[in-house]
Structure 1
Amino acid sequence: MISYQVQSEKGFTGKVGELVWMLEHTRAITIQEVADLSTEELDWSMEGGNSIGALLSHIAAVEYVHQLISFEQRDMDESERKEWGAALELGEKAKQHVHGISIDDLLDVLEATRDQTLDYLKGKNDDWLYKADVWSNGVTFNHYYLWFHVLEDEINHRGQIRALIRSMKEKKVSS
């Protein structure tokens, strides 16, 4: 059952626990939206647009990259770029990368990525969230912002997924 009261998840410090609650709530809603989609529906897209499968893969890729940046203080290496690059960039390569993949397999990737995030976050405290760092272009950020971005990215793409599902259903009805 999905809770609609922000709280601090057990096993984490206060603010980190609230962040974990938000991450998990956001993911639960995303899963609820897509859990019953067929592979054909995951592969469907509007002309020139991303497929639902590509968007789900992108959500996992963004989270993975933010793990590297915030927990390992690095960017993707070459093998990681081969594995995650298409999903991260979206577009035709991302659609082809996930074409024919089932919802169970896509949800497994999302779950494995999230499990790794939660393992990392268990070792962090509220001070870590506010720790400032600087990107190579001189812009200052903190870890809290990085994980806020993971949330906003997933919520944004979930909106796209909802629009694709509506459009797909309308096309089926009018066919």
Structure 2
Amino acid sequence: MIDYRIKNNGGYTKTMGELVSMLEHTRAVTLEEIKNLTEEDLDKKAEGDVNTIGSLLLHIASIEFVHGVISFEERDINEGELQKWKTALELGENAGKTIKGHSVQFYIDELSAVRDKTLSELRKRNDDWLFEENEWPNGVPFNHYYLWFHVLEDEINHRGQIRSLKRRMKQ
């Protein structure tokens, strides 16, 4: 059952716990949205779209993975990681053509593996860490809280695309 309350579920500092609650709620809604999809549903393109539901799901996992590397390891992804995630990160024609042939469980497993690492790492950190200032190579400042807010907004945005694709496929 999806919890419709933002609350600290324990093991985290105040703001971190609220962030984790939002991450977990967002994921629960996404999983509810996709739970009954077939491989055909996941691979199908709606007219005029290049992305499939499957490619969008792998993109959600890839964004969380990359933001984990940036915030937890204080580096950019390496060549091996880029090789694994590049197509999902970029989306578009190539993703729509190559990310296919997987069950919904495959995507759930990918999303869960990345999320498990995220939660494990967030448990090691506190509210002060969320607000630590960093700077992109181009001089633009950011903090860890923004990175995880972006993970949320990216998933919510792509879940909207998934819902749109599902409606259009039914027509």
Structure 2 CA distance for aligned equivalents of residues 117 and 50 of structure 1: 26
SS of the equivalent of 1:76 reads coil
Aligned to 2:35: 35
Name the counterpart of 2:105: 104
Query: Which residue in 1 is equivalent to 2:79?
Result: 78
Mapping for residues 2-17 of structure 1, pairs under 5 Å: 2-17=2-17
Structure-2 separation of matches of 1:28 and 1:48: 25
CA displacement at 1:49 relative to structure 2: 2.1
Using the aligned pairs only, state the percent identity. 55
Per the TM alignment, residue 98 of structure 1 is displaced from its structure 2 partner at its CA by 2.0
CA RMSD of aligned residues (A): 0.8
SS in 2 for 1:36: coil
> Relative to structure 2, which stretch is displaced further, 151-160 or 47-56?
47-56
Displacement of 1:9 in angstroms is: 2.0
Letter in 1 for 2:34: V
Question: Tell me, what secondary structure is at the counterpart of 1:141?
Answer: strand
Q: Using the alignment, how far apart are the partners of 2:127 and 2:83 within structure 1?
A: 34
Q: State how far apart, in whole Å, the 1-side matches of 2:73 and 2:135 are.
A: 14
- Distance in 1 between residues matched to 2:21 and 2:168, nearest whole Å: 31
**Contact 1:87 1:97 survives alignment (8 Å):** no
Separation in 2, partners of 1:127, 1:97 = 41
Cα distance in structure 2, aligned partners of 1:111 and 1:42: 18
- 1:123-167 Cα shifts (integer Å, max 9, x gaps): 000000000000000000000000000000000000000000000
The answer to whether the Cα contact below 8 Å between 2:50 and 2:96 also exists between their aligned partners in 1 is: no
**Is the 2:26–2:156 Cα contact (8 Å) retained in structure 1?**
yes
Which runs of at least 4 in structure 1 moved beyond 4 Å after TM superposition? none
Mapped contact 2:30–2:159 kept (Cα < 8 A): yes
The total of aligned residue pairs comes to 170
- The residue that corresponds to 1:173 in the other structure is none
1:63-103 superposed Cα distances (whole Å, 9 cap, x missing partner): 00000110001111111111000000001222233211110
SS of the residue corresponding to residue 37 of structure 2 reads coil
Distance in 1 of aligned mates of 2:98 and 2:120: 27
Q: TM-score, normalised by structure 2?
A: 0.97
Return 5+ residue gaps in structure 1 as ranges. Answer: 171-175
1:59 pairs with 2:56: no
CA distance in 1, matches of 2:115, 2:57: 13
Structure 2 spans left out of the alignment, 5+ residues: none
1:34 aligned partner, one-letter code: I
Query: Which residue matches 2:70?
Result: 69
Q: Deviation of residue 121 (structure 1)?
A: 0.2
User: Equivalents in 1 of 2:67, 2:4: separation in Å?
Assistant: 26
What's the TM-score, normalizing by structure 1? 0.95
